Structure 1
Amino acid sequence: MVNRRRGERELVLGERRFRLCLTLGALAELEATFGVDDLASLAERFNTGRLAAQDVITILTCAMRGGGHEMSEAEVAALHGPDGVSPLVEGALAALEAAFGVDAPNPPQAQTG
């Protein structure tokens, strides 16, 4: 079971459940990956409202590691469930919202079409 007060969220793919958490270490990994200098710049990067598929993979990989799942980007990229990629995108967005707060002016949205 996830602890939402600690910023944990759950990703459910069929029978598989994953705990997601953007810990301080996970956020530092995202800073390095996206080439930003601080958390404010990282939040700004995601506040554009647009996420690429690679962004989702990177965010989920970091959030899964923060949640205790040692998974590579390749393993995360290969994940799928009965509902397609929507739960993966929603999981990445939920992890970001938990880390940066739901009161952000322009929280990222899943892009369709």
Structure 2
Amino acid sequence: MANPWAGEVALELNGTPHVLKLTLGALAELEDQLAAGSLVELVQRFESGAFSSSDVLALVCAGLRGGGWTGQQADLLTADIAGGPVKAARVAAQLLAQAFTVPGGQHDGV
């Protein structure tokens, strides 16, 4: 079960539930893959609705890998994602939101 307070999101892939999380390593890997200059640009694309299916795929893959999945992005091209592309896009948006939101609106001085 995913813990949203820990930045986790759940997704069923090929009939198996997975926990996704954007760890620092997953974010660094994601940043290397994206056609954006920064993660802030990616967040802005999602906020404006201007994200692409490649953005969704990269985010879902990074989240899966941050959650311990050992697959590759190419494995997702033929995977059965419960809820389809719409669910994948929602999960990607949730991952971004939870990775950059402090729980409870607390400010840690950073």
Shorter-chain TM range is 0.7 to 0.9
> What is residue 70 of structure 2 aligned with on the other side?
70
Identity level (%) = 34
Matches within 5 A, 1:51-66: 51-66=51-66
> What is residue 96 of structure 1 aligned with on the other side?
96
Q: TM-score, normalised by structure 2?
A: 0.74
Deviation of 1:100 (Å): 2.3
What amino acid maps onto 2:12 in structure 1?
A: V
Deviation of 1:79 (Å): 1.7
Q: TM-score, normalised by structure 1?
A: 0.73
Residue-by-residue CA offset, 1:45-104 (whole Å, 9 max, x unaligned) = 4433222111111111101000111111111222224543222222212211211239xx
What amino acid maps onto 2:74 in structure 1?
A: A
Q: 1:83 to 1:63 in 2, by over 3 A?
A: closer
Contact 1:43–1:100, Cα closer than 8 Å, also in 2: no
5+ residue gaps, structure 1, are 103-113
Q: 1:39 to 1:5 in 2, by over 3 A?
A: same
State the distance in 2 between where 1:44 and 1:81 align. 25
> What is residue 85 of structure 2 aligned with on the other side?
85
> What is residue 110 of structure 1 aligned with on the other side?
none
Contact 2:30–2:59, Cα closer than 8 Å, also in 1: yes
Relative to structure 2, which stretch is displaced further, 8-17 or 19-28?
A: 8-17
Larger fraction in helix: 2
Structure 1 runs of 4+ with >6 Å offset? none
Q: Say how many residue pairs are matched.
A: 102
What amino acid maps onto 1:53 in structure 2?
A: S
State the distance in 2 between where 1:19 and 1:59 align. 13
Contact 2:56–2:92, Cα closer than 8 Å, also in 1: yes
Q: 1:45 to 1:67 in 2, by over 3 A?
A: same
5+ residue gaps, structure 2, are 103-110
